[in-house]
Amino acid sequence: MSLNGYLAFAAALLLPVSPFVLIASPWIVFRRRRARALAREAGYAQLDTTMVRCLEACTKAMIRADSAGNAIEAERAVRDIDRFLDLSYSSRTWRTKALILAVEHAPRLTYWRPFSELSADQARAFVDHRLATTKGLYGTISLVRQLVRLGYYASDSARSSIGFVPFAERNKQRKSAKPTPALQV
């Protein structure tokens, strides 16, 4: 089922509890606006604080660098994701934000705390067991892996740490390399 299908299914499931949502809506709206305002103060253009915490936890759980700079790299990756969302003028940006919020609350389906509040071991276990699939609800939510990779490998330091050579520099390396000898037949 596609993301739109899951969203429609979730809306149908929420219909019976809609009176409670209506009563709680001022509180929900206040919390979302407050999270958005705090994120703007921190310099984020598209994400709110809940999304920032979730993406930082996802980056730390997925990128298994055990160095002290992992927290700095996670924050940089989240800032790159925010910059990407801000620069891409798309009507689907809300889907990406909904995906991030779905990842934040997905552990609650198994009676755990939200993703950003999990310990490092629990977050890694959740990523390994639940987000490793491509089928079902968790398969749709696992699309966040691509978003984290996009943000993490956007920096020169991350690209060089895995030996990635940008396309523009590949031709320069080939020209400076020794030419291969002709094949004798």
Sign of torsion over alpha carbons 37, 38, 44, 48: negative
Place of tokens 């009563």: 23
Give the whole-angstrom CA distance, residue 49 versus residue 166: 32
Residue labelled with tokens 């921190």: 42
pLDDT along the chain (185 residues), means of 10: 75 79 83 90 91 90 69 84 86 86 86 89 88 79 82 77 74 61 68
Domain assignment of residue 43, yes or no? yes
- What pLDDT is attached to residue 106? 86
Residue 182 lies in a domain: no
**pLDDT given at position 172:** 64
Whether residue 142 lies inside any domain: the answer is yes
Q: Residue 179: what pLDDT? A: 61
Q: Cα–Cα distance between 83 and 7 in angstroms, integer?
A: 26
Inside any domain, residue 96: yes
- Look up the pTM and report it: 0.72
Containing domain of residue 126, as a range? 3-176
12 in a structural domain: yes
Does the residue 39 lie in any domain? yes
What is the tally of structural domains in the chain?
1
* Tokens of residue 61, six digits: 């759980």
Any domain includes 85: yes
Asked whether residue 183 is domain-assigned, the answer is no
Backbone angles phi, psi at 151, to 5 degrees: -70, -40
Cβ atoms of residues 46 and 93 within 8 Å: yes
Token readout for 137 is: 């609800």
